[in-house]
Amino acid sequence: MEQSFSLEGKVIVVTGGTGILGNSFVNAIVEAGGAVGILGRNADIANERADAINKNGGRAIALIADAMDEEQLIAAREKIIAAFGKIDGLVNA
């Protein structure tokens, strides 16, 4: 399938990234060349997905947080900025 756009150099956070819909967004972002923060409450799934992406040449980081917990979100923001230097976008899945 031909890629219609590029996210090369962009960093996108996907809330709900451990769910089914979130995983689809995560995969699309990686396929478009973007780095992705997989934000969710399930650490095992987030880490597994990030590890698989990184092993296949993509760039991903697991961000374990409840989207309703401000302190956890602040910690997640700090973690992704430390890893990738910025955040360009957010997908709420």
Domain membership flag for residue 10: no
Q: Judge whether 62 lies within some domain.
A: yes
63: domain CATH number is 3.40.50.720
In a domain, 41, yes or no: yes
Q: What is the pTM of this model?
A: 0.93
Residue 3 lies in a domain: no
Tell whether 7 is covered by a domain: no
Structural domain that includes position 85: 15-92
Is residue 50 in some structural domain?
yes
**Is 25 a member of any domain?**
yes
Counting the structural domains of the chain, the total is 1
Q: Which of 19, 28, 11, 32 is nearest to 88 (CA)?
A: 11
CA–CA separation, 35 and 24 (whole Å):
14
Query: Mind listing the pLDDT tens digit for each residue in 72-89?
Result: 999 999 999 999 999 999
**Looking at residue 5, what is its pLDDT?**
86
Asked if the model's pLDDT at residue 2 lies above 70, the reply is: no
* Residue 9 lies inside a defined structural domain of this protein: no
Query: 12-69 pLDDT, tens per residue?
Result: 999 999 999 999 999 999 999 999 999 999 999 999 999 999 999 999 999 999 999 9
